């Protein structure tokens, strides 16, 4: 916040005020603009590139400038920026020079949240998008008309967000830069805690401290729901009261009678049978996500039969083991996994599907994460029959630390290094054969390699 204004963000997020969003095409910024406009604000924005997101905003009557320019902020009462927009951004710099207050995206979501009696905030190192999507699916099935913000696409709503008129808001809540500490959860759901985002956090203890602060935001009337099987989470919340969930029966909400493939099981809530789930999504990690979603639904007083119906129809969030098509008899799936723990869950699930060979085309995400977790990435990628490495997706970083994807490939026997996405596509074209499962994996733009494979050649 620009402290010189002397006013808080609450004073600016009122009907008739003009908010300019820097980075409006982003996954969390686009829904923010739409929600604020639905509350009577005038919204404009800018983004570096035009995209499906910016096209959608323009189609809905919001002024979007492509490229960042000081002139774009004319008439704005305040600026809301994406986490990637630094102080040297021309629009941010101009606003500061003119004394127009600059707020963070998470602060704005925090204000919006306070309009809802029920704010379910889903946090954790892994599983946030899928679990937020599952909870949304259950609340939609229950006709609760929730407002939703997800960091991915949910097929049910054909988007990563929706503006509802019910009394509940469901938000994916990220710990990076402590952004979730700007929130006002009535339910704080903690899925797991691992070392990640080490370009911001000092170490695992620092991350645990942040999650504890997040849990402490919940008011007396609210509830913390946390994974009682996750040692890091239990340690972080030591001495606090919370509803536990997990795979084992030591948790208040847990599964029982699991099928061999983890897709069919019962959910027990505080000693009583709540639901029998038959999932469409695969993997032990998705069983745990579904139990977490049931804990949130149970806490909200929703019946188990509603959870059963909703989760039977849940086919996954976008870029979460998402089926893209078939090429030369090989099935191509795309996944957002970018942390060793997520890779482990993905490849474990993939191995249970009975393919002859798993080809994993992996694009590491950020230099700091790749360096910090290097040995873990090497260990997990060994699970693939054929690991294919492409260059690191830099995101917000520059490579000052001398790390590369080729260094991972050199440690993996039988792996292949393809510097560019075009090289990945070309290699997969040559290599694909019937019985293969081809995974394009990472939080960057690796999905384009699979998409290019599936495009008809002219």
Can you give the pLDDT of all 458 residues of the chain as single tens digits?
A: 333 446 799 999 999 999 999 999 887 898 899 889 988 999 999 998 888 889 989 999 999 999 999 999 999 999 999 877 889 999 999 999 999 999 999 999 999 999 899 999 999 999 999 999 999 999 999 999 999 998 777 777 777 788 888 999 999 998 988 989 999 999 999 999 998 888 889 999 999 999 999 999 999 999 999 999 999 999 999 999 999 999 999 999 999 999 998 999 999 999 999 999 999 898 899 999 999 999 999 999 999 999 999 999 998 877 778 889 999 999 999 999 999 999 998 999 899 889 999 999 999 999 999 999 999 999 999 999 999 999 999 987 888 899 999 999 999 999 999 999 999 999 999 999 999 999 999 989 999 999 999 987 64
pLDDT score recorded for residue 457: 62
* 329 within a domain of the structure (yes/no): yes
Report yes or no: 141 and 60 within 8 Å, Cβ to Cβ.
no
Do residues 262 and 347 both lie within one domain?
Answer: no
Q: 13, 15, 33, 36: which is closest to 23 by C-alpha?
A: 33
pLDDT score recorded for residue 177: 85
Q: In which domain, by residue range, is 286 found? A: 116-312
pLDDT score recorded for residue 150: 87
Do residues 362 and 223 both lie within one domain?
Answer: no
Indicate the residue among 292, 312, 332 that finishes a domain.
312
Largest CA distance in the chain: 65
Tell me the C-alpha to C-alpha distance, in Å, between residue 36 and each of 24, 47, 327.
12, 18, 43
Report yes or no: 369 and 393 within 8 Å, Cβ to Cβ.
no
Q: 100, 106, 101, 99: which is closest to 84 by C-alpha?
A: 106
* 317 within a domain of the structure (yes/no): no
Distance between CA atoms of 132 and 322, rounded to whole angstroms?
16
Q: Is the dihedral angle over the CA atoms 127, 367, 47, 450 positive or is it negative?
A: negative
Do residues 52 and 152 both lie within one domain?
Answer: no
Do residues 279 and 299 both lie within one domain?
Answer: yes
Do residues 154 and 272 both lie within one domain?
Answer: yes
Do residues 240 and 303 both lie within one domain?
Answer: yes
Tell me the β-bridge partners of 63.
Answer: 44
Do residues 126 and 83 both lie within one domain?
Answer: no
Report yes or no: 83 and 177 within 8 Å, Cβ to Cβ.
yes
* 212 within a domain of the structure (yes/no): yes
Do residues 274 and 169 both lie within one domain?
Answer: yes
The values of phi and psi at residue 2, to 5°, are: -85, 100
Distance between CA atoms of 126 and 307, rounded to whole angstroms?
22
Structural domains in the chain (count): 3
Query: Can you list the alpha helix ranges (DSSP code H) found in 90-155?
Result: 90-98, 105-113, 128-141
Do residues 265 and 241 both lie within one domain?
Answer: yes
Distance between CA atoms of 338 and 312, rounded to whole angstroms?
27
Do residues 297 and 158 both lie within one domain?
Answer: yes
Q: Is the dihedral angle over the CA atoms 347, 350, 355, 360 positive or is it negative?
A: negative
| Domain at 415, CATH number | 3.90.190.20
* 288 within a domain of the structure (yes/no): yes
* 356 within a domain of the structure (yes/no): yes
Could you count the other beta carbons within 10 Å of the beta carbon of residue 229?
18
Distance between CA atoms of 7 and 368, rounded to whole angstroms?
36
Do residues 369 and 422 both lie within one domain?
Answer: yes
| Domain at 20, CATH number | 3.40.50.720
DSSP 240-291: ---EEEESSTTSSEEEES--TTSSEEEEEETTEEEEEEE-SS-SHHHHHHHH
Indicate the residue among 54, 75, 108 that finishes a domain.
108
Report yes or no: 107 and 78 within 8 Å, Cβ to Cβ.
no
* 9 within a domain of the structure (yes/no): yes
DSSP one-letter code for 185: -
Do residues 304 and 376 both lie within one domain?
Answer: no
* 87 within a domain of the structure (yes/no): yes
In the block, tokens 């474990």 appear at: 348
| Domain at 244, CATH number | 3.40.1190.10
Q: 67 exposed, middle or buried (CB, 10 Å; 0-12, 13-18, 19+)? A: exposed
Indicate the residue among 79, 108, 137 that finishes a domain.
108
């Amino acid at each position: 916040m620009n402290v010189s204004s002397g006013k808080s963000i609450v004073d600016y997020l009122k009907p008739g005020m003009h908010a300019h969003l820097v980075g409006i095409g982003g996954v969390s910024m686009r829904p923010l603009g739409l929600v604020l406009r639905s509350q009577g604000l005038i919204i404009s924005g800018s983004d570096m590139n035009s995209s499906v997101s910016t096209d959608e905003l323009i189609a809905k009557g919001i002024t979007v400038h492509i490229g960042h320019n000081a002139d774009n902020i004319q008439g704005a009462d305040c600026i809301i920026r994406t986490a990637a927009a630094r102080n040297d951004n021309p629009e941010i710099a101009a606003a500061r020079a003119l004394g127009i207050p600059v707020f963070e995206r998470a602060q704005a979501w925090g204000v919006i949240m306070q309009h809802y009696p029920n704010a379910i905030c889903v946090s954790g190192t892994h599983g946030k998008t899928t679990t937020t999507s599952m909870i949304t699916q259950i609340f939609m099935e229950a006709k609760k008309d929730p407002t939703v913000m997800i960091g991915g696409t949910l097929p049910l709503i054909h988007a990563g967000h929706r503006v509802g008129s019910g009394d509940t808001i469901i938000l994916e809540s990220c710990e990076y830069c402590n952004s979730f500490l700007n929130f006002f959860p009535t339910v704080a759901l903690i899925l797991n805690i691992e070392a990640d985002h080490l370009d911001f956090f000092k170490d695992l203890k620092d991350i645990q401290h942040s999650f504890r602060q997040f849990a402490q935001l919940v008011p007396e009337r609210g509830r913390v729901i946390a994974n009682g099987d996750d040692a890091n989470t239990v340690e972080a919340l030591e001495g606090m009261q919370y509803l536990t969930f997990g795979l084992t029966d030591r948790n208040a909400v847990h599964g029982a009678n699991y099928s061999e493939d983890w897709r069919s099981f019962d959910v027990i809530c505080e000693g009583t049978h709540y639901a029998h789930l038959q999932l469409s999504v695969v993997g032990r990690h998705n069983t745990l996500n579904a139990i977490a979603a049931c804990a949130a639904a149970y806490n909200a007083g929703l019946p188990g039969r509603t959870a059963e119906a909703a989760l039977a129809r849940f086919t996954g969030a976008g870029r979460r083991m998402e089926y893209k098509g078939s090429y030369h008899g090989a099935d191509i799936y795309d996944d957002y996994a970018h942390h060793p723990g997520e890779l482990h869950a993905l490849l474990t699930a993939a191995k249970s599907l009975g393919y002859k060979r798993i080809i994993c085309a992996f694009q590491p995400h950020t230099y700091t994460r790749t360096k910090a977790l290097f040995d873990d990435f090497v260990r997990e990628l060994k699970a693939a029959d054929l690991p294919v490495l492409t260059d690191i997706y830099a995101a917000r970083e520059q490579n000052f630390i001398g790390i590369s994807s080729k260094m991972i490939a050199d440690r993996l026997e039988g792996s292949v290094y393809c510097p560019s996405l075009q090289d990945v596509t070309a290699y997969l074209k040559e290599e694909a054969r019937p019985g293969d499962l081809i995974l394009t994996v990472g939080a960057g733009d690796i999905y384009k390699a699979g998409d290019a494979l599936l495009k008809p050649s002219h």
